[in-house]
Amino acid sequence: MTFLFFIFAALTLIGGIGVVVNRNPVTSAFSMIVSFLGLAALFIQLNAYLVGVLQVLVYAGAIMVLFLFIIMLLDIPKAENKRFPVFTLGASVVVVVSFVTLVITVITKSGVGTAKLPAIEAQKGPGQSDVHQIGELLFSTYWFPVQIVAVLLLVSTVGVVVLSKRELK
């Protein structure tokens, strides 16, 4: 089934390139969805069903809908071929170079192709799927980070309500 990996990897990359290359923001948003779907398929190929499905449910299904919604409502015009100021160009070169260096360092240090990870047993029977495993870990070993994330989300929700109601006073 290696050919499936290549198909979905290609899909992910084509989507990613499409986001950058397209001038129409709606087309860009759609390329991003394609990229997310390809990524979800790659996760599922690794037997990480929950992660793959959540990728579709949360990113492709919810967040990108809001992106698209706002792009359409604001009717953002196509990006024009304009000249970038020198500072922007310089900053983007720095960011790209440091990111590429980071990726190369990670890849060379991690020993790709030689390191062996312990196999994960998934899909064995009732109560042993990856959903159960992740749930058990989240609510036993990692209960504290989960609580912190929950409080953070609550704070941001309250913040949004306060910000959007400000004009009423």
Partner 1 sequence: MDWYIILAATIKIVVFVFLVTLPLVAMSVWAERRVSAAIQDRVGPNRVGPAGLLQPVADGIKFLLKEDFTPNHVRKSFYWLAPALTMIPSLLTCAVIPFGSQLFGEKMVIADLDVGPLFVFAVASLTVYGIVLAGWASNSKYPFLGSVRSTSQMISYEISLGLSIVPLLMIYGELNLGRIVMEQAQNGWALLPLWGEGLSVKGWLLAIPLFISFIVFTTSMFAETNRLPFDLPECETELVAGYHTEYSSMKFALFFLGEYAAMIIGSGLAVTLFFGGWSLPFGWLTPESIDAEVPFWHGLIHIGVFFAKVILFIIFFIAVRWTLPRFRYDQLMKLGWVVFFELALANVILTALLLMWLK
Chain contacts with partner 1 (rule: CB under 8 A): 26, 33, 49-50, 53-54, 56-57, 60-62, 65-66, 68-69, 72-73, 123, 126-127, 129-131
Min dist CB 112 to partner 1, Å, is 28
User: Nearer to partner 1 by C-beta: 89 or 150?
Assistant: 150
Query: Helices 25-45 and 64-74: crossing angle, nearest 10°?
Result: 180
User: Nearer to partner 1 by C-beta: 9 or 49?
Assistant: 49
User: Nearer to partner 1 by C-beta: 9 or 50?
Assistant: 50
Q: How far is CA 133 from CA 60, 76, 118, 149, in A?
A: 24, 44, 16, 20
Buried b (16+ CB within 10 A) or exposed e, 35-45: bbbbbbbbbbe
- The full DSSP string for 25-68 is HHHHHHHHHHHHHHHHHHHHHTT-HHHHHHIIIIIIIIIHHHHH
Min dist CB 65 to partner 1, Å, is 6
Min dist CB 52 to partner 1, Å, is 8
Min dist CB 162 to partner 1, Å, is 18
Q: How far is CA 150 from CA 78, 139, 145, 146, 156, in A?
A: 38, 13, 9, 6, 10
Min dist CB 106 to partner 1, Å, is 30
User: Nearer to partner 1 by C-beta: 9 or 129?
Assistant: 129
User: Nearer to partner 1 by C-beta: 9 or 130?
Assistant: 130
